[in-house]
Structure 1
């Protein structure tokens, strides 16, 4: 299956991003199921990513087989991340993939460490992961070019995360969907005093 490891945004955050996009990028609309025939030599129109699909990728895995899938589940069990918060307060246009995105101006250290661990675990499972620097973001618009007007104002939307997931990516008549196939919790780090209080000693 084609999949990725990532973070699912809370429902309230998805709705807040959608509200921001409607106000800050009024030119961008979600695609309708009725497709109009494209005119020759007409550039593709920017398309809003469906609100339900908003997420933050930690590691794109691509197509994996059953053996890799089983190994991946085992390796991800060893990832030790802790809950964190982030604020989506910047936007950017990436010309290569032609996307407009929202991102945290200062990514939390726990997020960056989680992404590092996830990529390492994926490689240990025999899955190829690119070595490009990790840049956490939420894709809001696809087929975006420099002709798309800049957002009227920047977002300021926060979210809390307490787990990460294995998502499948597949297409059907309704478009692209990202169902969650497996989840792992992020466990808070406790002080020595708290561990002793709860009887969680290593002895």
Structure 2
């Protein structure tokens, strides 16, 4: 019997944009602002699935593979902090309709498959800093990254040697 995996659906960032965000973060926030998320772990979560068996994973992969939705452009032009969860994030002022539809479909499929989904509205974001124990000055608007989204991914979250690592397991293309 195989062990369960901690899984989520997400959007990956292009490598070039990952690096630009890392440099911007280093220049925009003091070292004591929080624990930086490593470049390879920067992503936009669409639906958190939790601990799943191989059987449930296969069923959700099948459902995700049936999604027929056009790609879209994502613009990252907003940032903020959630004090309760101690997170500093990068997001979008105007989420594209395609992003909202994709997240809603994946969250609905996950819920119907028995995966708990947060009752909070979907807020597309990239976690930049964790453990931000105090209020952090957020840079004024002026930063902006845009990129085409042509696929979404299924990731596994693993805690290895004291670090969290996100491993892509499968890609799901969006329509051209």
TM-score, normalised with respect to structure 1: 0.79
2:36 — aligned with what? Answer: 48
RMSD: 1.6
Question: What SS is found at the alignment partner of 2:45?
Answer: strand
1:7 — aligned with what? Answer: 11
2:100 counterpart of 1:79 = no
8 Å contact kept, 2:80–2:138:
no
Cα offsets for 1:109-138 (capped at 9, x unmatched): 010011111112222333222232100000
2:85 counterpart of 1:97 = yes
Higher strand share: 2
1:68 — aligned with what? Answer: 56
TM-score, normalised with respect to structure 2: 0.90
Residue ranges of structure 2 left out of the alignment (5+ in a row) = none
Aligned length, in residue pairs = 171
1:17 — aligned with what? Answer: 21
Q: Residue 68 of structure 1: CA displacement?
A: 0.9
Larger Rg: 1
8 Å contact kept, 1:75–1:124:
no
1:20-169 to 2 correspondence within 5 Å? 20-25=24-29, 27-28=30-31, 46-148=34-136, 150-154=137-141, 155-169=143-157
Q: Residue 174 of structure 1: CA displacement?
A: 5.8
